[in-house]
Amino acid sequence: MEPTEFRYWSRLEEPAVKLARAAWRRLLGFDPAPDEATVRTFASMYYDADPLAEAFVDEVYLGRSIDEGRALLDRALSEGVGAIDDAPASLRALFEDLEKDPSWVDPALVAEGAKVFRRYGTAVFRFAGAITLAAYTESSVAKPLALTGAYAGASTRHRFLETASFWIDVSEPGGLAPGAPGRAAALRVRLMHVFVRRRLASHPEWDLEAWGVPISQADALLTLMGGSVAPGIALHAIGYRTTTREIEAMMHFWRYVGHLLGVRPRWYPADVREGLQLAFVSFLKRAETAGDDGKRLCQSYADAFAPDGRGSLRERLAGVLEHGVHRGFTRLFLPPPLYRRFEMPPAGAWVLYPLALAPFVFAAETLRRRLPGVDEVADQVARRARRRWLTRQLGDRAAAFRPVQTFQR
């Protein structure tokens, strides 16, 4: 079963697509279109969700209360499920699953992938935010955010910073170990997604036949690729020298993060080649029906770091700089046709900012590769810089990963 808005097969034989496939084969040596069975599997994953976590949400969050669900989760994370005498069976099953890693996990490769991701510092946050906007043409992605208001108006900045906090927690050394902040954050985000999925599935505007289930395994898989293959290739434009092996280590790292998030796709790209084939499928399958919902989400993101004019002169100047860098990355990495369609604000000369960094990033990357010890120093610098950035942006607020409980319409 595939969603009716999965348009891949109707576009595969278009003349322009045939020309693009031929050029791709000539340049890269392989067909960007995966085999038919792989595409069918991916398309059907729009109807896959997370039954293990959903059982806990149904039994406790929705069956009892949200407060009781959060309290049980917090206690299980801090003390262990064994410390809860009357722990619901669904909670025990969820933690038993989490405590046993799948056979494919390579801890050394997970750690290597996390280190590669850390190396990008805050640049990968801005990049990931920008490329996510391209997905807002799709109703399956835009509708959950539009209906809940999660990335609309004033909430956009804090939600983006919560996501950045999650990225930092999961990619810190040891961040995914039992009891570590990244592992706890992954479980909280997982349950938040389930809660939203349950609420949206019964919303009158949700079209199951056209879009699949809310926050599906298929869309979640694309998000994992957006944290690995996409930056691994695209950020070469601003000086990073990520190798194919390093990209594949990031793919493995994000696969494990996805596992903790409840993302258990029936097909996961084995290497960069398959990751690029998935990108090709995701481009062709687009229906682009999100309309004004997608436009409003993109415009809210563009304005997320607009300075409010408050604070000292230094704070106001820092706000102007942050807003400019934010717009510059968005303008550089969001495809121009989408930038125009979404009626995004002009970025001016800020679009040159990421490119101006390229020579310095390239030089640092070269030194890191050639001089013993520089790699570890660079890792420490990147870790401190992104923590410092997050603290400055969040202020006294903290990432809570609380599910939205009301709809905007």
Pair 133, 342: CB distance under 8 Å: yes
pLDDT of res. 155:
83
Domain map (residue ranges) of the chain: 47-394
Question: Which carries the bigger pLDDT value, residue 198 or residue 399?
Answer: 198
pLDDT at 246 over 60: yes
Give CA–CA dist 102/225, Å, rounded: 20
User: What single DSSP character describes residue 61?
Assistant: I
Give CA–CA dist 325/347, Å, rounded: 9
Q: Radius of gyration of the chain from Cα atoms?
A: 21
Give CA–CA dist 259/324, Å, rounded: 35
Q: Which has the closest alpha carbon to 223: 167, 291, 285? A: 167
pLDDT at 62 over 80: yes
Query: Residue type at 269?
Result: P
Q: 6-10, 144-148, 351-355: which range is least confident on average?
A: 144-148
**Model confidence pLDDT, tens digit, residues 16-42:** 999 999 999 999 999 999 999 999 999
CA dihedral over 99, 102, 107, 111, signed as positive or negative = negative
Give CA–CA dist 71/139, Å, rounded: 33
- Cβ neighbours for 76, distance < 8 A, ≥ 6 positions apart: 83, 84, 87, 91, 95
pTM metric for this prediction: 0.94
The mean pLDDT value for 68-94 works out to 91
Average pLDDT, the chain: 93
Give CA–CA dist 165/42, Å, rounded: 29
- In 77-128, at which residue ranges do the beta strands (DSSP E only) sit? none
pLDDT band (50, 70, 90) for residue 401: low
pLDDT band (50, 70, 90) for residue 210: very high
Query: Residue type at 371?
Result: L
Give CA–CA dist 328/326, Å, rounded: 5
pLDDT band (50, 70, 90) for residue 152: low
- Calculate the alpha carbon distances from 301 to 88, 286, 298, 325, 388 in Å: 39, 21, 5, 13, 22
The mean pLDDT value for 122-129 works out to 96
Q: How far is CA 14 from the centre of its chain?
A: 31
User: Helix (H, G, I), strand (E, B), or coil: what is residue 336?
Assistant: helix
pLDDT at 396 over 70: no
- DSSP-assigned states of every residue in 370-386: HSTTHHHHHHHHHHHHH
Place of tokens 């278009």: 14
